[in-house]
Amino acid sequence: MPELPEVENIAMGLRQSILGRPIDKVACFSPVIIKGSRSEQWQSFLATFAGRSITSVTRRAKRLILATTDQRALVFQLGMTGKFLLKQRSDDRHKHTHLVFSFPGDQELHYVDTRRFGRLWLFDCLDPQHPDAAMEAEGMGSLGPEALRLTSNRFHALLDSQRSIKTLLLDQTRLTGLGNIYADESLFASGIHPARSSRRIGSEEATTLLRQIKGVLRRAIRAGGTTFSDFENAYGDIGRFRKRLKVYGRQGEPCRSCGGPIERIVLAGRGTHICPRCQPQDP
């Protein structure tokens, strides 16, 4: 499932490839992926993109926002396997291509989603810099602040909860941007056991954790994200962060700090990877 660094890389790829280019046509082959109050009028909505161009590609949490200058917007939630691929008109079309942007010449941008958990919302008016209120009004749920923009004080205040720190880090209404991979990596880098109560994380530990969260996310963005099976950006590049993971997916392998075996436990229903020596439950 794409997390923040992967969605950020998809956004960067789209900025390089389609920003400001006039669109000939947007065709949808799977209207079932379109949600929200404008889903019934998807044909007339998409028709308005002819002759316009996407002037902004932004990310909010794991959502990707493609907007025009007059704030007409497409908001993608990529699900497990949603991705964009640059193609030529003559190329074979993937079986699970749901949306195609055609550009003058013969270039196309395909939105492909094999497992079909991805969703698309249509907005007549959405400010890509401040999209939250419009997205909430469409029933997309509320989002916490971006992990990369949080201050230590605000982060520490967010930790006032009896829930485990891992559960809290994954709660997108508290803070956004961390999924399973980067939550495990950030907790390991901070020496914090994921089952510890959030409320019992001290302010110094909270500062360390936030610094590690930002560091892990930034390194993962620079490495192009993490690819396990499916993720690639619009140019077909896969993420290179996988080989730099320290705990996620490394159960049974030696810890890169202490040499002890990495363990996989289940916490709040999620596979969770820890080094029991480096992340003591009762520090």
Residues making contact with Zn ion (CB under 5 A): 255, 257-258, 275, 277-278
Vertex 199 angle, CA 198 and 202, to 5°? 95
Vertex 148 angle, CA 2 and 146, to 5°? 75
Minimum separation from the CB atom of position 246 to Zn ion (A): 9
Rank residues 139 and 280 by Cβ distance to Zn ion and give the closer one: 280
Rank residues 78 and 275 by Cβ distance to Zn ion and give the closer one: 275
Rank residues 28 and 265 by Cβ distance to Zn ion and give the closer one: 265
Identity of the amino acid at 256: R
Minimum separation from the CB atom of position 192 to Zn ion (A): 13
Rank residues 40 and 253 by Cβ distance to Zn ion and give the closer one: 253
Minimum separation from the CB atom of position 13 to Zn ion (A): 35
Q: Which residues are catalytic?
A: 2-3, 62, 270
Minimum separation from the CB atom of position 181 to Zn ion (A): 18
Minimum separation from the CB atom of position 251 to Zn ion (A): 13
Among candidates 24, 74, 70, 75, which has minimal Cα distance to 45?
74
Position with the least CB separation from Zn ion: 255
CA-CA distances (angstroms) from residue 29 to 53, 101, 188, 236?
Answer: 21, 12, 43, 22
Rank residues 10 and 255 by Cβ distance to Zn ion and give the closer one: 255
If DSSP codes are grouped into helix, strand and coil, which group holds residue 222?
helix
Sheet containing 107-113: give its strands across: 25-28, 97-102, 107-113, 82-88
Q: Which residues of 64-101 are buried (b: 16+ CB within 10 A; e: fewer)?
A: bbbbbeebbbbbbbbbebbbbbbbeeeeeeeebbbbbb
